[in-house]
Structure 1
Amino acid sequence: MSNEIVKYDPELNTIPLRKFTPVEMNLFFSIVSRMRDKGDETVRFSFDQLKELSAYKPTANNRFIDDIESTYQKILGLRFGRRSKDGLHREFFVMFTEFEINGHADDPYVDIKIYPKAIKLLNELESWVRYALSEFRDLKSSYAKTMFRLLKQFRTTGYAYFSVADFNELLDVPKSYKSSNINQSVLKPIKEELTPLFRGLTVRKKYGKGRGKPVIGYSFTWKSEKKNANDFSQGQFQDERQKLFNIQHNGELTEQEKWRAIDKVKGLTLGSTEKQALAVKQAEHDKKIRDQARKEALAELRKGLGNNA
């Protein structure tokens, strides 16, 4: 299912996925990918199908059921709605109204039905956010997953800006986080995990005036995609090759960040690429020392032979 596409109304991107774990995000958007254009019909997912869609690792059904339930409990916390311009008419609704988990069936399944007023989020879309489910689910950090979705909304422009307030709300950044926490725990994984997917990705902080020049926003730029570009996998080898190219030719990442990004793309233990790169550098250094020593020894030998002539 490497070519499974997620496609939905941009309104879904405006709702913060508060406290969702990466596993729960994978389950949620796997469901979204298969609910598109199904109207108000009940859609059945077998456990095996949903596990494959979401690249779910644990195999025990009890654990899987618990994770599905916790995902739905958090989905219930997502509030969609509308309000009139004068604010006198307001309505709110959840996305799914039916969510039945049956682990007793010979082929265990989950039945899901969308709420009628939420149908427009996944059906007859006039504008949309679109991306490959496999690219989304392979990201490890919840911050990288969320920013991936947000940037894909601007895929053909190659530019997105978020005020600090919107950035913190949409990514569900803890209020206790200081600038150093955001740099290390939020921006770092975003840069390392999204650089392989967004060619030429740059992240810039916008500073305000006044004491301390506080950060007031974040801008993201990358090479825009063509409107007719598809999200289909080109095959594991070609996909990985493109990701590594994007890492190596990104001038924003430090050497250490590039090494970590390569580890993540290749599925290696963090530090593997750095260890290999440092070993190569050490070998080159040792060879240089040996070559220099050999050169000096030959020079001394020639000098001695010259004196004896």
Structure 2
Amino acid sequence: MYNLKNQTKKATKMNEVVKYHNDFNKLNLNGFSELQQNILFGLIFAIKDKKETIMLDYGQIKEFTKNSKLTGQELWKQAQELEKNLSKLDFTIIKPCEDSKIFERATYNLFKKFSLFYSTSDNNPDNPNKSLGQIEVKINEEFAYLINELTANFTRFELAEFIALSGKYTKTLYRLLKQFRSTGLLHIEWKEFLRVMDIPESYKICDIERQILKPAIKELTAPRTLFDIKRTPFESLSYTKIKGKGRGRGGNVIGIEFYFTPETTNEIEQRANKRNLEIIAQNIWCEEARNKLKRLRDIKQKTEEPTTNQVTTEIEDELEVDNYLYRNLRMKNRFDEYDTLKIQNISKDESGNIIVTLRNADDNHISEMIFKDLKHLENVFNRYAI
């Protein structure tokens, strides 16, 4: 059976930005449910800038789903459906050969490897009641440019904002609009719009407006609070159908245009700068903690014959406590949802209690926990560590 404990944990940051080449927006994510889109773009975030195979565990995958109550068995079913849909998600590349008159047309899949690891209650691999443990993926080298080799031509959006949206059509429209965040105008031919949005053939224009466009516009213009910041995905979003002559599917509609308030360069830069400052602060904090731990170890090595046992005990206590620094806990919050908490600092108060400072990986909220002694801390850590 696959040993999940031996895999390195990689923390997910829901406030990070997913980036991918605009060619990805041309895909029709036919059959991908809302939840499967969340997992797919969560994987895209996790694999960006990485050439090697990456592994995401059950807890990390569940963070992408927006549903903390999903069981391992339910996630297994969704992951299987995602695997089937990805197998149909082919890209075609046309490139010239050395002879300029000859061209190569090749078809590839986005992922070179997509593996699901699961467990069963009776260790029988054929047991239908499977529980998802991990997903292992590796990007196909032919399509590294889609995610990794980004230039000026890319789409970017905050993963948490994307996951918070409801409805697969809303999510697709969100991705299309984000490509034009700096202009506030998207013009697309009607047939292409229907294809990319994966709108059923049976839908009439009135159905599309009532069941897809109006609910999506309402969702995308609704203010929401993410990471203690109130924001609206698209301000003043509206659309106009472009009409022409002739009949056929869509009547005489030949295109559609969406309008919204564009984001200014300053707004984009301010968000990027804020993230950079947070990363810098985090790096400084980590470096200070590493230096402190090194100093303590140096002191212990040099103190071969301490004047009292108390000196040795204090040094050993600090070393033991610092072993928990930057480790992760997974605990339920007051909304009965799971939070991933990273231990940022450990100290003692005048009464000898151990004060543990924790940072929420989703929203960077800082909280504290108090432990009466090292044994108390150890017991809690062993129970909730990930």
Aligned to 1:223: 261
**1: CA distance between counterparts of 2:183 and 2:57?**
38
Alignment counterpart, residue 181 of structure 2, candidates 137, 155, 162: 155
TM-score by length of 1: 0.70
Give 1:1-309 correspondences, 5 Å limit: 1-38=13-50, 40-84=51-95, 88-104=103-119, 108-126=133-151, 127-196=153-222, 197-210=233-246, 214-227=252-265, 228=269, 230=271
SS in 2 for 1:225: coil
Contact 1:6 1:130 in 2 (8 A): yes
Amino acid at match of 1:24: Q
CA distance 1:225–1:142, change in 2 (3 Å): same
Amino acid at match of 1:96: F
Gaps of 5+ in 2: 1-12, 121-130, 223-232, 276-386
Aligned to 1:243: none
Contact 2:75 2:132 in 1 (8 A): no
Larger fraction in helix: 1
**1: CA distance between counterparts of 2:52 and 2:193?**
35
Amino acid at match of 1:50: I
Q: How far off is 1:200 after superposition?
A: 1.2
Coordinate RMSD, CA, aligned: 2.6
Deviation string for 1:181-226 (max 9, x for gaps)? 1111111122111123211111111111357971111100111112
Deviation string for 1:60-97 (max 9, x for gaps)? 21111111121121111111121247784211100112
Amino acid at match of 1:122: I
Amino acid at match of 1:207: K
Contact 1:81 1:90 in 2 (8 A): yes
CA distance 1:4–1:177, change in 2 (3 Å): same
Deviation string for 1:256-306 (max 9, x for gaps)? xxxxxxxxxxxxxxxxxxxxxxxxxxxxxxxxxxxxxxxxxxxxxxxxxxx
Q: How far off is 1:148 after superposition?
A: 0.1
**2: CA distance between counterparts of 1:82 and 1:200?**
38
Q: How far off is 1:165 after superposition?
A: 0.6
**2: CA distance between counterparts of 1:87 and 1:217?**
35
**2: CA distance between counterparts of 1:189 and 1:87?**
48
Q: How far off is 1:229 after superposition?
A: 5.2
CA distance 1:157–1:111, change in 2 (3 Å): same
Contact 1:23 1:56 in 2 (8 A): no
SS in 2 for 1:97: strand
SS in 2 for 1:101: strand
Larger fraction in strand: 2
SS in 1 for 2:271: coil
Contact 2:119 2:133 in 1 (8 A): yes
CA distance 1:221–1:233, change in 2 (3 Å): farther
- Percent same amino acid among aligned pairs? 30
Higher RCO (Cα < 8 Å, 6 or more apart): 1
**1: CA distance between counterparts of 2:77 and 2:132?**
17
SS in 1 for 2:257: strand
Contact 1:143 1:189 in 2 (8 A): no
Q: How far off is 1:232 after superposition?
A: 10
Gaps of 5+ in 1: 235-309
